Amino acid sequence: MAVQESLPLEPPARTTLRVHRADHLLVADMVEPGSKVLDVGCGEGDLMQLLESRGVDCRGIELSREGVNRCVSRGLAVVQGDADTDLDNYTADAFDYVILSQTLQATRQPRVVLENLLRIGRRAIVSFPNFGYINMRLQLLINGQMPRTDNLPATWYDTPNTHFCTIKDFVLLCDEIDVKMERAVALDRYGRPLRLNAPWWFWNMFGEQGVFLLSRAEKKHHAAPGDYIAP
């Protein structure tokens, strides 16, 4: 299937020189223009600003006060809140997409959060660092220390991340709660998508992060690596 073309490997045409994160560009490409999006754990609003520049109506939730205030000062509609507790307040089908970008591992109840995402949004886009990444494995295997990377620099005792998983773990969770995977992409440490025809174990070993477009399962479907069902 023609996936390669749909991956925005160059920044979108904008007048600013702002460099967008590779996973943000990938996520933004999964969102249909004109839709309504909730970004859970939106940080300082980089992804939201990218989406709004593409005509997407965005709302955000962010735990840190600094992040929220930064977003508001950028003109974004962001509320201070906690993904673990505040998502209950959102009505079903309130959004077209709910995005959880690099936040899943910091939630107390990832499974509940994931179920909430797909209740509030028609679709969910989830990206997370892959703990099965070869560098992670080697750090534990060879150094005997809890792994740290450029993207996850915190030490084990002061990290906000409490629930790490691998791409394989996430796929199994999606299977368990009957979530349909519409699209799955693994990115290497430079944010480039891995080979699309590689087997899952290859993604789990060499993907530094996984990005998944999910929807509520009407019937069970499992995406193969690189599999892409047009929305």
Partner 1 sequence: MMNVHPVKGPVATGGERPHEADHPTSLVASFGADQPLRLDCGVDLAPFQIAYQTYGTLNADKSNAILVCHALTMDQHVANVHPITGKPGGWLTLVGPGKPIDTDRYFVICSNVIGSCMGSTGPASTNPATGKVWGLDFPVITIPDMVRAQAMLVDRLGIDKLFCVVGGSMGGMQVLQWSVAYPERVFSAMPIACATRHSAQNIAFHELGRQAVMADPDWAHGRYVETGAHPHRGLAVARMAAHITYLSDAALHRKFGRRMQDRELPTFSFDADFQVESYLRYQGSSFVERFDANSYLYLTRAMDYFDIAADHHGVLAAAFRGTQTRFCVVSFTSDWLFPTPESRAIVHALNAGGARVSFAEVETDKGHDAFLLDEPEFIDIARAFLHSAATARGLDRAGR
Cβ proximity of 105 and 163 under 8 Å: yes
Q: Does 72 bind partner 1 (CB under 8 A)?
A: yes
Q: Is 65 in the site for partner 1 (CB under 8 A)?
A: yes
Would you count residue 68 as binding partner 1 (CB under 8 A)? yes
Stretch of 14-22, 79-87, 105-113, 141-149 contacting partner 1, by CB under 8 A: 79-87
CA 106 to chain centre: 12
CA max distance for the chain: 49
Helix/strand/coil (H, E, C) string of 137-200?
HHHHHHHCCCCCCCCCCCCCCCCCCCCCECHHHHHHHHHHCCEEEEEEEEECCCCCECCCCCCH
Which single residue is written with the structure tokens 């460099």?
19
**From 2, 19, 33, 89, residue interacting with partner 1 (rule: CB under 8 A):** 89
The interface region with partner 1, picked from 65-73, 108-116, 127-135, 183-191 by CB under 8 A, is 65-73
Give the span between the Cα atoms of 84 and 81, in whole angstroms: 9
165 binds partner 1 (CB under 8 A): no
User: In terms of CB distance, is 15 or 89 closer to partner 1?
Assistant: 89
86 belongs to the binding site for partner 1 (CB under 8 A): yes
Please select the residue that binds partner 1; options are 79, 140, 177, 224, rule is CB under 8 A. 79
One residue of 8, 11, 21, 80 binding partner 1 per CB under 8 A: 80
Q: How many residues bind partner 1 (CB under 8 A)?
A: 21
**Measured on CA atoms in the order 15, 209, 149, 159, is the torsion positive or negative?**
positive
72 versus 173: smaller Cβ distance to partner 1 = 72
Alpha-carbon torsion (121, 114, 214, 205), positive or negative:
positive
Q: Is 15 in the site for partner 1 (CB under 8 A)?
A: no
Stretch of residues binding partner 1 (CB under 8 A), selected from 1-9, 25-33, 61-69, 152-160: 61-69
Direct distance between the N- and C-terminal alpha carbons of the chain, in angstroms, rounded to an integer? 13
Residues that bind partner 1 (CB under 8 A): 57, 59, 65, 68-69, 71-81, 86, 89-91, 94
